[in-house]
């Protein structure tokens, strides 16, 4: 998996040990049901145009790692208010998503894998990354 900054085409590798935690909880149809005075259903509904959450969490404590140097790059990108491409690179899944960081939900969280502060840019951290998918044109 990798995160690509669209404005410069720079990429940061992200280990494959992440679980897309909210992949199947997205509901693309928004619906409101009310009742008329006579009990008839009044239903309003519409299709959401964008904003699907993509939360990448470690599948377990031994996965979902990212090197400190790459995490610092991702953190710097998170405040740029730009669009990125999130690209899966699994043999069974090569989807690509147009995303922004989901700051409302806390764009990223990180903890040292060893439980002590990192001493090298090559030390690994467990990370949770939160994005919002944007449809083309948004």
pLDDT at 138 over 80: no
* Residue 17 confidence (pLDDT): 84
Which tokens is 120 given? Answer: 């090298």
> What is the 8-class DSSP label of residue 28?
-
* Mean of all residue pLDDT scores within the chain: 92
Looking at per-residue pLDDT, the higher value among 17 and 82 belongs to 82
Rounded Cα distance, 46 and 29, in Å: 6
**What is the residue whose two structure tokens read 């410069």?**
8
- For residue 4, name the pLDDT band (cuts at 50, 70, 90): very high
Q: What is the dihedral of CA 58, 59, 61, 63, to 10 degrees?
A: -70
8 A C-beta contact, residue 5 and residue 75: no
The tens digit of pLDDT for each residue in 87-132 reads 999 888 899 999 999 999 999 999 888 888 888 898 989 999 999 9
* Residue 137 confidence (pLDDT): 54
Which tokens is 43 given? Answer: 């239903």
Looking at per-residue pLDDT, the higher value among 4 and 14 belongs to 4
Tell me which residue of 21, 20, 1 sits closest to 11, measured CA to CA. Answer: 1
Rounded Cα distance, 122 and 114, in Å: 13
- For residue 63, name the pLDDT band (cuts at 50, 70, 90): confident
Contacts of 86 (CB under 8 A, 6+ apart): 1, 2, 3, 4, 54, 96, 97, 99, 131
Q: Where are the domains of the chain?
A: 2-133
pLDDT at 56 over 70: yes
């Amino acid at each position: 998996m990798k995160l690509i900054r669209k404005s410069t085409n720079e990429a940061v590798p992200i280990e494959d040990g992440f679980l897309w935690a909210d992949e199947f909880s997205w509901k693309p149809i928004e619906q409101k049901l009310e009742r008329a005075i006579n009990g008839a259903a009044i239903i309003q509904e519409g299709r959401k145009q964008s904003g699907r959450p993509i939360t990448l969490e470690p599948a377990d404590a031994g996965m979902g790692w990212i090197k400190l140097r790459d995490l610092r790059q991702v953190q710097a990108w998170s405040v740029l208010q730009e669009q990125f491409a999130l690209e899966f690179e699994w043999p069974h899944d090569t989807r690509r998503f147009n995303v922004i960081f989901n700051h409302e939900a806390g764009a990223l969280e990180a903890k040292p894998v060893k439980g002590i502060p990192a001493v090298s840019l090559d030390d690994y951290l467990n990370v949770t990354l939160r994005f919002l998918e944007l449809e083309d044109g948004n």
